[in-house]
Amino acid sequence: MRRNKPKTHFIPEPLLAFGHGQQSDHPKDGLFLYGPESGSRSPRDVTVGAVGTKKGLQYLRRWVISAGAYIDLPPRKKTDKEHRLHLSAFPGIEEAFGIRLNPGEFISKQIDGKAVDSATRLLNIHEAVRRTVDLYVEPIRHHVENEEAEVDVWILVAPEIIFQRCRPLAKRSGVELTPGEFEKKQTEPSAQMTLFNSGDRRLEEVIFRDVPNFHRQVKARLLGLGEPSQVLRETTLAPEEFSNSKGYPLRQIQPLASVAWNIATSLYYKTQALPPWRLANVRPGVCYIGLVFKSIPNDPKDLVCCAAQMFLNQGDAVVFRGANGPWRTSKFECHLSSNEATNLVTQVVETFQEKHGRLPNELFIHGKAGFSDDEWEGFRAAVPPEVNLVAVKIQSTGGDAKLFREGDYPVMRGTAIELDRHNALLWTTGYTPRIDSYIGPETPNPLSIQICRSTRGAPSMKQVLADIMGLTKINYNACNYSDGLPVTIRFADKVGDVLVMGSAAGSKRQPLKFYI
């Protein structure tokens, strides 16, 4: 049987839409020149709630003041290349984003640095993290339940000891640990009550259902309050204040201008109705879904949490939580039952209709694994026949497929090899002419793209590849030129990490900004 020869394609860099109807392929250029896509003529004030130690709050106010002005790039070193096109000076938050942060009007919640130190020293790591998170979340909870002033975003400023001591694999070597309510090795609820839960054993159960990770627990706890948040390390805000025993910086961070771009982009996304930019040439009526599967830690039944991330052409992103269940079918794959697949995608379709007043024309489901027969039938049952439902498998590859330009240089981003009508390789990382560079440690590897199934005929492979390229440019948690993964896959782990926490609560449908 004769096989078709592979086709090669080059997918042009997707354009992004910014203010005044202008377009650019670079988020920083678009914001610098035109402002956000939905920007108004007058600056909008953002109400910030700040939680941190006395020093942490000082660092935050100082950083906000500095980010209100122009931040240049550091002087070029002899070791630098001739160009640094992947870097951009920061023009100031108001100039780039049209929003204002007034440090004098922050709703500040100061916490005791000694209390943070004491909490992070508790013998049991689960208890240590829970107590530390309480110090930050409880002031927010009290404000939400008792104060009228609304906050657009809460910024939690964390001392470095939190990141040294409040992670699952934190060794805490050299730290004098102190006894708390639980023994050091305890990882599950005890048979008897403890003073910690004040007679309510459910709190103790939550402590040991939560992975001992400060960042993930904060996000999970704030889901129930419906409050967006940004966790910032003191060393990010004031790196010059922290050095090691030899006088070198405690952490190597990006140039200050790059840090400002990333933080400001995230704050804008979490406080405004629409994101700072959107894809300029997305086909109308298209909806993308990214499937999320995450094993629930220490679950005796080996249950798996499932969710769906919905992304629309306006840049809207919503997370739908599905049911926990026995979805794992092998070591590396999870598949939903037919009923749960229907329930999950039904929520997506209904939300699309709420936002647009009509059904989508096309609905793409992106997953890291293939799609079982039962799962596919469940998806089909949730989608009216006039909607073209397409299932696409997207996987990172190893080093088996390598391409080079002129025999020596990394292949260009956007290069694709169409192996057949349903399979292709797409290089979403590689040399990028716009920044005259390849940002990566080694020769770029492609993504494996497979069109698995469709209800009304599969779209062309080139169209699917162009869609995926576009989805690599809408990560609003940073201000990068592009990502190596489409946003439908990029945040799957982050969403799953939060949803599997025992303390995660709230609506079945919440914006993505609560998770990142």
The distance between the two most distant Cα atoms of the chain, rounded to a whole number of Å, is 74
Per-residue pLDDT tens over the stretch 469-485: 999 999 999 999 999 99
Mean pLDDT of the chain: 90
Domains recognised in the chain with CATH numbers? 104-271 (no CATH), 278-514 (3.30.420.10)
Mean pLDDT of 368-390: 96
- Least Cα distance to 152 among 46, 42, 68 occurs for 46
Angle between helices 256-271 and 54-67 (to 10 degrees): 100
Q: Which residues contact 188 (CB under 8 A, 6 or more apart)?
A: 208, 298
Give the pLDDT band of residue 201 (cuts 50, 70, 90): low
- How many other CB atoms are found less than 10 A from the CB of residue 348? 24
**What is the C-alpha separation between 243 and 232, in angstroms, rounded?**
18
Q: Give the pLDDT of residue 54.
A: 98
Strand partners, 6: none
Residue 310 sits at φ, ψ, to 5 deg, of -105, 130
Structure-token pair, residue 464: 């699917």
pLDDT at 108 over 90: yes
* CB-CB contact of 468 with 13 (8 Å): no
pLDDT (0 to 100) of residue 193: 45
User: In the structure, what pLDDT confidence band is assigned to residue 74 with cuts at 50, 70 and 90?
Assistant: confident
The 10 Å Cβ neighbour count of residue 496 is 19
Question: Which phi and psi (to 5°) does residue 278 adopt?
Answer: -145, 165
How, if at all, do strands 362-367 and 153-158 pair?
Answer: unpaired
Instruction: Using the predicted structure, report yes or no on whether residue 196 has a pLDDT greater than 90.
Output: no
Reduce the DSSP state of residue 353 to 3 states and report it. Answer: helix
User: Exposed (0-12), middle (13-18) or buried (19+): which is 420, by Cβ within 10 Å?
Assistant: middle
* In contact, 128 and 120? CB cutoff 8 Å: yes
- The DSSP bridge pattern shows strands 415-420 and 423-426 to be antiparallel
Give the chain's end-to-end CA distance (angstroms, integer). 50
- In this structure, of 4-8, 403-407, 498-502, the range with the lowest mean pLDDT score is 403-407
Residue 440: band (very low, low, confident or very high) from pLDDT cuts 50, 70, 90: confident
**Cα–Cα dist 314/317, whole Å:** 9
Q: How is residue 48 written in tokens? A: 């910030």
DSSP helix/strand/coil, 11: coil
Cα–Cα dist 390/499, whole Å = 26
Looking at residue 174, its pLDDT comes to 86
Strand order in the sheet with 153-158: 107-110, 48-52, 153-158, 229-233
3 state SS for 19-83 = HHHCEECCHHHHHHHHCCCCCCCCCEEECEEEEECHHHHHHHHHHHHHHCCCECCCCCCCCCCCC
The helix or strand, by DSSP H or E, that contains position 336, with its residue range, turns out to be: none
Question: What are the tens digits of pLDDT across the range 115-137?
Answer: 999 999 999 999 999 999 999 99
Are 271 and 263 spatial neighbours (Cβ–Cβ below 8 Å)? Answer: no
